[in-house]
C-alpha cells in the first residue's frame, strides 16, 4: 500500500478514533442490556417464582456485586498491561458465561456479545496512556497498588466526586429497577388495568420507561457536555457545579413524579423525563472530572476504585434496600393492591433525598477541583516540589509521601 501523507494520516487516525468509540459504545450497550433485563420483566418473574420485593431486588444486587468485585482487579491490570488484551479476555468470559447460563432459546445476547468481541479485537487499538508515556513517565513509573490507593484517597476531588457518583448510582439503579413495577401497580389502583395474576404480565410500562430513559439520557449528555464546554474556560470548577445542579434540581422532579403516580400516569412520566434529563447532565462530565484530577498512570485504578465504591454503596444495594423497605411496610396493613403500591411508593421516596446528598458531595468537589487539577498537571510534568494538598513529593525517580523521612531530591 502507498504511504499516506500527513493529512491522510490525520484523517485516518480520526476515523479510527470514531470507530473505536462506536465499538466501545456497542459493548457498553450490551453490558446495560444484560444488567437491566430483569427490571423489564420483573413482574413476570415475581409471579412465576412467587417472590417478594426484597428477594426481587436481591437479583440485581447479586449481579452488581460480581461486577463490582472484579473492577479493582482489572483497574490494577489496566494501569500496567495491555488494555486491549484485558478487554478481550473480559469479553470472552462474559460471552461464555452468558451462553452457558442462558436457558432462553431465543436469547440474542451471546451472538451480540460475539460480534462485540470480533469488533474489539480487530478495530480497537491499545490506547497510549497520554502524558505518562512522554513527559511525566519517570515520575510515577514504579508504584505499588497500595501507593496508588493512598494517592487517590488523598485526592479530595476524587473522593468527593466518587461519593457523588455513588449517590447518583443509588438513585439511577433503584429507579431503573423498580419504576416499571411501581408504575404498573399505580395503574392497578387507578383502575386502568387489572392486577397481574399470571405471567407474562403487561410490559408496556417497561417499554415506555425504557424509551424515556434512552431519549433523556442522550439529550442530557449533550446538554451537559455543551454547558461544560461553554463554561470551562471562565469557571474553573464548572464541571462539579453542573453535576451538583443536575442532582439537586432532579430531586424535586423525581419526588413529584412519585407522588403523582397514584393520580396521573402521564404527569408522572413527564416529571420522570425532566428528572432523568437533569440527572443525565452528569454522565460525560463525571469521567472528565476523574481524568483531570488523576495522573494517567493511575486512572484505570481510580476508575476501578470509583466503580467498586459506587456499586457497593449505590446500585448494588439500592434495589434490595427499597425492596426490603417495601416488604417491611407491606406487613403493617392487610395485603391489598393499594397497600402494595403504597409500600413501594414510600420506599422509592428515599431516592430524591439521596439525590440531594449527592448534590452536596459535588458542591464539595467544586471547592477542591482547581487545586487538585493543578497538582495533577504538575505531577505529570515531573515537577520536583512538595504538594501540600496531597502530601506527596515527586522526583525524577519516584513519588514519596510527605510524612516519609527517606525522600531525596534528584
Higher pLDDT, 267 or 123: 267
The reported pLDDT for the residue numbered 100 is 67
Quote the pTM value.
0.76
Percent of the chain with pLDDT over 90: 40
Higher pLDDT, 155 or 32: 155
Dihedral (Cα; 362, 368, 371, 374), 10-degree rounding: -20
The reported pLDDT for the residue numbered 224 is 94
Q: Does residue 402 carry a pLDDT above 60?
A: no
Structure confidence by residue, pLDDT tens digits, 121-146:
656 666 555 544 444 444 445 578 88
Dihedral (Cα; 315, 321, 323, 329), 10-degree rounding: -150
Higher pLDDT, 196 or 225: 225
Q: Does residue 195 carry a pLDDT above 90?
A: no
Q: Does residue 71 carry a pLDDT above 90?
A: no
393 phi and psi, to 5 degrees?
-120, 125
Higher pLDDT, 167 or 128: 167
59-68, 264-273, 356-365: least confident range? 59-68
Q: Which of 3-12, 34-43, 51-60 has the highest mean pLDDT?
A: 51-60
Structure confidence by residue, pLDDT tens digits, 252-264:
999 999 999 999 9
The reported pLDDT for the residue numbered 1 is 43
Superfamily of domain 36-82+126-133+148-365: MFS general substrate transporter like domains (1.20.1250.20)
Q: Does residue 243 carry a pLDDT above 70?
A: yes
User: Cα–Cα distance between 265 and 281 in angstroms, integer?
Assistant: 25
23-27, 93-97, 336-340: least confident range? 93-97
User: Cα–Cα distance between 277 and 79 in angstroms, integer?
Assistant: 33
The reported pLDDT for the residue numbered 55 is 87
Q: What's the whole-number mean pLDDT along residues 188-194?
A: 90
**Domain range summary for the chain, segments of one domain joined by +:** 36-82+126-133+148-365
pLDDT band for position 399 (50/70/90)? very low
Q: Is the dihedral of CA 158, 163, 169, 171 positive or negative?
A: negative
pLDDT band for position 94 (50/70/90)? confident
Which parts of 261-317 fold into alpha helices (H)?
Answer: 265-280, 283-293, 299-310
Q: What is the mean pLDDT of the chain?
A: 81
User: Cα–Cα distance between 58 and 63 in angstroms, integer?
Assistant: 9
13-22, 44-53, 72-81: least confident range? 72-81
Q: Does residue 312 carry a pLDDT above 90?
A: no
| Other residues' Cβ atoms within 10 Å of the Cβ of residue 226 | 11
The reported pLDDT for the residue numbered 186 is 94
pLDDT band for position 317 (50/70/90)? confident
Structure confidence by residue, pLDDT tens digits, 341-350:
999 999 999 9
Q: Does residue 35 carry a pLDDT above 60?
A: yes
The reported pLDDT for the residue numbered 131 is 45
Amino acid at each position: 500500500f502507498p504511504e499516506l501523507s500527513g493529512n491522510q494520516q490525520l484523517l485516518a487516525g480520526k476515523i479510527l478514533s470514531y470507530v473505536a468509540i462506536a465499538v466501545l459504545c456497542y459493548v457498553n450497550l450490551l453490558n446495560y442490556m444484560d444488567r437491566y433485563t430483569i427490571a423489564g420483566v420483573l413482574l413476570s418473574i415475581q409471579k412465576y417464582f412467587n417472590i417478594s420485593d426484597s428477594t426481587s431486588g436481591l437479583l440485581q444486587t447479586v449481579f452488581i456485586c460480581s461486577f463490582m468485585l472484579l473492577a479493582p482487579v482489572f483497574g490494577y491490570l489496566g494501569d500496567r498491561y495491555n488494555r486491549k488484551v484485558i478487554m478481550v479476555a473480559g469479553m470472552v468470559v462474559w460471552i461464555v458465561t452468558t451462553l452457558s447460563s442462558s436457558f432462553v432459546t431465543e436469547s440474542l445476547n451471546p451472538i451480540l456479545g460475539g460480534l462485540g468481541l470480533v469488533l474489539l479485537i480487530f478495530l480497537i487499538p491499545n490506547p497510549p496512556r497520554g502524558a505518562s508515556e512522554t513527559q511525566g513517565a519517570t515520575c510515577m513509573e514504579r508504584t505499588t497498588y497500595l501507593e496508588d490507593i493512598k494517592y487517590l484517597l488523598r485526592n479530595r476531588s476524587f473522593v468527593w466526586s466518587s461519593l457523588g457518583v455513588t449517590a447518583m448510582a443509588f438513585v439511577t439503579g433503584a429507579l431503573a429497577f423498580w419504576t416499571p413495577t411501581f408504575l404498573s401497580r399505580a395503574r392497578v389502583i387507578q383502575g386502568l388495568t387489572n392486577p397481574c395474576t399470571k405471567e407474562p404480565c403487561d410490559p408496556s410500562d417497561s417499554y415506555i420507561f425504557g424509551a424515556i430513559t434512552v431519549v433523556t439520557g442522550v439529550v442530557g449528555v449533550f446538554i451537559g457536555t455543551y454547558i461544560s464546554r461553554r463554561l470551562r474556560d471562565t469557571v474553573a470548577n464548572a464541571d462539579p457545579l453542573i453535576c451538583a445542579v443536575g442532582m439537586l434540581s432532579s430531586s424535586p422532579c423525581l419526588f413529584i413524579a412519585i407522588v403523582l403516580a397514584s393520580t396521573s400516569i402521564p404527569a408522572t412520566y413527564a416529571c420522570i423525563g425532566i428528572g432523568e434529563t437533569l440527572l443525565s447532565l452528569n454522565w460525560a462530565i463525571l469521567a472528565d472530572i476523574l481524568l483531570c484530577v488523576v495522573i494517567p498512570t493511575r486512572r484505570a485504578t481510580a476508575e476501578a476504585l470509583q466503580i467498586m465504591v459506587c456499586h457497593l454503596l449505590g446500585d448494588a444495594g439500592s434495589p434490595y434496600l427499597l425492596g426490603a423497605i417495601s416488604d417491611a411496610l407491606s406487613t403493617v396493613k392487610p395485603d391489598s393492591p393499594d397497600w402494595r403500591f403504597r409500600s413501594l411508593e414510600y420506599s422509592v421516596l428515599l431516592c430524591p433525598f439521596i439525590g440531594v446528598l449527592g448534590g452536596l458531595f459535588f458542591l464539595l468537589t467544586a471547592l477542591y477541583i482547581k487545586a487538585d487539577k493543578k497538582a495533577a498537571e504538575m505531577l505529570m510534568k515531573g515537577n520536583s516540589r512538595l504538594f501540600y494538598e496531597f502530601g506527596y513529593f515527586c522526583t525524577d525517580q519516584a513519588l514519596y509521601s510527605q510524612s516519609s523521612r527517606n525522600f531525596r531530591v534528584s
